[in-house]
Structure 1
């Protein structure tokens, strides 16, 4: 049995090495930041960033497993997964609370669950609104010439989230709407993997959100998407975050 396990481990390692050398791409350097800013601004206009900025509350389900309510205006987040229900106060971390199977967690596991909820929120919200984050603090923008002699927008994050240093190469249509991007991120061992941005949906507040992404064999979905200028408009209980205020 040990020999069989070792054999499969070696096979998997060999396949990974082969895949790495075939598919791994080096991060392009890019240039012309002034033109890149114009390209990024065109994307913002195409997606109606002003509508996103004025959106106070958004809720959604990520890949059918994470359920998130984000009160942008008051900087509070609810993240539900498995048997866990965690409330984060982004202004006052210690006010965050966690529940598992309906029981409040008050021991050392509380920080574990809050940390996990924060990581889920950072990842899932990025898949939701990454195009709106290209002018965040610490972000650089450059133009990259593709093999087809087209221009793509390279966006690199020096800070923010849980994996600062990640970079994304955006491919836009003629109107400025994202079609896909390539990723150079710490959680993926192979650089340059491409993910699509599909099924664009105009929300109640006017912001445009892509509700489907294809990343290799995996499909990342956004479901139960709701927005509003307050909790009630987003069909969320108005007292949802009272416990962490």
Structure 2
């Protein structure tokens, strides 16, 4: 009986692995997809269309001190967003025109959701993309593919920002370098601890090279 159960489990795992391999090969060989689109697709961009609600907690730790802890609920169907922070809950409906008193929550949602779903922003946002090239990643030093993503100099909360993203052969981001507009500050972090939420793949941990900075997600649910 145990042997039969083991074989059944192994069969399910093998089928799942084969399906993922076929999906990966389909993305790699699709001549109609550009590199940035392949990254989005590898992270489950198509699966996200069927998501109705996503919850997550955005955390920032600096030198073992928790600096931010924001709990979000995003109902995609009505595009309503709620933030719970320091025992206070605020909500708004995301639309083109926002009241001044809602800009505080919207700025933070844009920042936090960019970290959570940045691969999808490669499809959603009006960004420019460089040609992909081989380069050494800033933290690991490993040789990877690198693509620079540049956002317009006008519009949004942080216009003119850019990112150098380093990704593996499966089009999954492993590291990136954030570059503020106008030659301002730069920050390199890892993309690690990926989890698959029914096809939506999320990196739950981002660390600086010395580990003094950690940005991570907890309490993630995808419905």
Instruction: Tell me whether the two structures share a fold, i.e. TM-score over 0.5.
Output: yes
Bigger relative CO (Cα 8 Å, ≥ 6 apart) = 1
Question: What secondary structure, in the 3-state scheme, does the structure 1 residue paired with 2:35 have?
Answer: helix
Provide the C-alpha distance between the structure 2 equivalents of 1:73 and 1:190, rounded to a whole number of angstroms: 37
Provide the C-alpha distance between the structure 2 equivalents of 1:134 and 1:59, rounded to a whole number of angstroms: 21
Q: For residues 222-241 of structure 1, what are the structure 2 equivalents within 5 Å?
A: 222-228=217-223
- For structure 2, list consecutive stretches of 5 or more residues without a partner in the other structure: 1-30, 60-67, 137-142
Provide the C-alpha distance between the structure 2 equivalents of 1:175 and 1:92, rounded to a whole number of angstroms: 35
Give runs of ≥4 in structure 1 deviating > 3 Å. Answer: 91-94, 144-151, 186-189
2:130–2:147: 8 Å Cα contact kept in structure 1? yes
* Residue among 172, 182, 186 paired with 1:177: 172
Provide the C-alpha distance between the structure 2 equivalents of 1:139 and 1:227, rounded to a whole number of angstroms: 26
Aligned to 1:91: 95
Aligned to 1:196: 190
* Residue among 45, 50, 53 paired with 2:46: 50
Cα shift at 1:45: 2.7
RMSD over aligned Cα, in angstroms?
Answer: 2.6
Aligned to 2:103: 115
TM-score (norm 2): 0.69
- Equivalenced residues, count: 175
Q: Which range moves more in the overlay, 159-168 or 170-179?
A: 159-168
Provide the C-alpha distance between the structure 2 equivalents of 1:211 and 1:160, rounded to a whole number of angstroms: 28
Q: Which range moves more in the overlay, 160-169 or 46-55?
A: 160-169
Q: For residues 129-208 of structure 1, what are the structure 2 equivalents within 5 Å?
A: 129-143=117-131, 145=133, 147-148=135-136, 151-158=145-152, 161-186=156-181, 189-191=184-186, 193-203=187-197, 205-208=198-201
Measured against aligned partners, the alpha-carbon deviations of 1:28-65 in whole angstroms (never above 9, x if no partner) come to xxxxxxx9x62212212321211122212100001061
- For structure 1, list consecutive stretches of 5 or more residues without a partner in the other structure: 1-34, 97-110, 229-245
Q: 1:144 to 1:92 in 2, by over 3 A?
A: closer
Cα shift at 1:200: 0.5
Provide the C-alpha distance between the structure 2 equivalents of 1:197 and 1:147, rounded to a whole number of angstroms: 17
Cα shift at 1:136: 2.4
TM-score (norm 1): 0.64
Q: Which range moves more in the overlay, 134-143 or 173-182?
A: 134-143
1:78–1:87: 8 Å Cα contact kept in structure 2? yes
